[in-house]
């Protein structure tokens, strides 16, 4: 569960990018955040793992009965623990191109390894088996020992998703992950997000400009305009009038 309570964000230059944000995202939801460039979408997503600190209000994240975080009070080891539960993706694939696909997926476990193993890049059989399972879920198993730079853009983004789920996150926040892809590849990546959301019960929050893909794959739409929420509801209820309110005519 993620709950925003009266959240405000003002940048040092005085720009007010988030205004009185009050939303609750439940476990296992697939949410699209839409709006014009500069509406505050990326800022909103990156407050969840405190890449962007908020100016006022509160964000509460409840991972389970024993792990509850108030973001503004979370720092140090507790913040690192929280970030282990949150997978972050962007439109850049962030793969190491000269490494194999499998090694790229294994890299998601480095932060949880001891210093010596991390330095030499040693992964045991269980870790390799787990990474291969992540690739299999996304139909990438046949590419395991191919260098990442030999893959298409869509395949590379799916490798990034495999790396993210290999982290065992409870939440994935994705900042425009399909904006650089052609329509066919973008649909495939969104299908993979939906599959992971349903099969692994991972909460997915995605910032996206493709309205058709948001409506097709996401359960819930949050529309932002000038830092304010102007729509929050079932994707089936997003009509032409609401879209004009979000984007203008």
pLDDT, tens digit (0-9, with 9 covering 90-100), for 176-191: 998 888 889 899 999 9
Residue 105 has pLDDT above 90, yes or no: yes
pLDDT of residue 66: 82
Q: Predicted confidence band at 70 (pLDDT cuts at 50, 70, 90)?
A: very high
Q: Predicted confidence band at 154 (pLDDT cuts at 50, 70, 90)?
A: confident
pLDDT digits (tens, 9 = 90+) for 11-44: 999 999 999 999 999 999 999 999 999 999 999 9
Residue 114 has pLDDT above 60, yes or no: no
Distances (CA, A) of 155 to 170, 178, 181, 245: 23, 11, 10, 35
pTM for the model:
0.89
Q: Output the domain CATH number for residue 154.
A: 3.40.50.300
Least confident range from 71-75, 105-109, 110-114, 241-245: namely 110-114
Tell me how far apart the alpha carbons of residues 247 and 39 are, in angstroms, rounded to a whole number. 10
Nearest alpha-carbon partner for 102 in 130, 129, 133, 131:
131
197-231 burial, b at 16+ Cβ within 10 Å, e below that, comes to: beebebbbbbbbebbebbeebbebbbbbbebebeb
HEC letters along 98-136: CCEHHHHHHHHHHHHCCHHHHHHCCCCHHHHHHHHHHHH
Least confident range from 56-70, 117-131, 196-210, 217-231: namely 117-131
- Name the average pLDDT for the chain: 91
pLDDT digits (tens, 9 = 90+) for 82-99: 998 999 998 888 888 899
Tell me how far apart the alpha carbons of residues 110 and 126 are, in angstroms, rounded to a whole number. 14
**What total of structural domains would you count in the chain?**
1
Which residues face 58 on adjacent strands?
Answer: 5
Residue 199 has pLDDT above 70, yes or no: yes
Domain around 113: 2-247
Rg (CA), the chain: 18
Query: 46: part of which helix (H) or strand (E)?
Result: helix 41-47
Residue 113 has pLDDT above 60, yes or no: no
- Residue 13 CB contacts under 8 Å (≥ 6 apart), including other chains: none
């Amino acid at each position: 569960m993620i709950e925003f309570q009266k959240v405000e964000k003002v940048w040092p230059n005085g720009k007010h990018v988030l205004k009185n944000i009050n939303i609750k995202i439940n476990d296992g939801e697939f949410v699209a955040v839409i709006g014009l460039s500069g509406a505050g979408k990326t800022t909103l997503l990156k407050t969840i793992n405190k890449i962007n600190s908020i100016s006022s209000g509160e964000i509460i994240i409840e991972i389970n009965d024993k792990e509850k975080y108030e973001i503004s009070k979370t720092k140090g080891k507790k913040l690192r623990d929280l970030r282990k539960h949150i997978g972050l993706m962007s439109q850049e694939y962030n793969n190491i191109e000269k490494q194999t696909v499998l090694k790229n997926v294994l890299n998601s476990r480095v932060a949880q390894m001891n210093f010596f193993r991390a330095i030499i890049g040693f992964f045991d059989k269980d870790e390799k088996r787990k990474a291969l399972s992540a690739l299999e879920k996304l139909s990438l198993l046949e590419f395991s020992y191919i260098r990442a730079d030999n893959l298409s853009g869509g395949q590379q983004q799916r490798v990034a998703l495999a790396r993210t789920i290999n982290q065992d996150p409870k939440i994935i926040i994705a900042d425009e992950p399909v904006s650089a892809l052609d329509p066919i590849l973008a649909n495939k990546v969104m299908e993979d997000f939906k599959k992971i959301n349903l099969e692994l019960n991972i909460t997915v929050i995605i910032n996206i400009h493709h309205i058709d893909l948001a409506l097709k794959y996401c359960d819930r739409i949050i529309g932002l305009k000038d830092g304010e929420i102007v729509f929050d509801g079932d994707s089936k209820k997003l009509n032409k009038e609401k879209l004009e309110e979000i984007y203008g005519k």
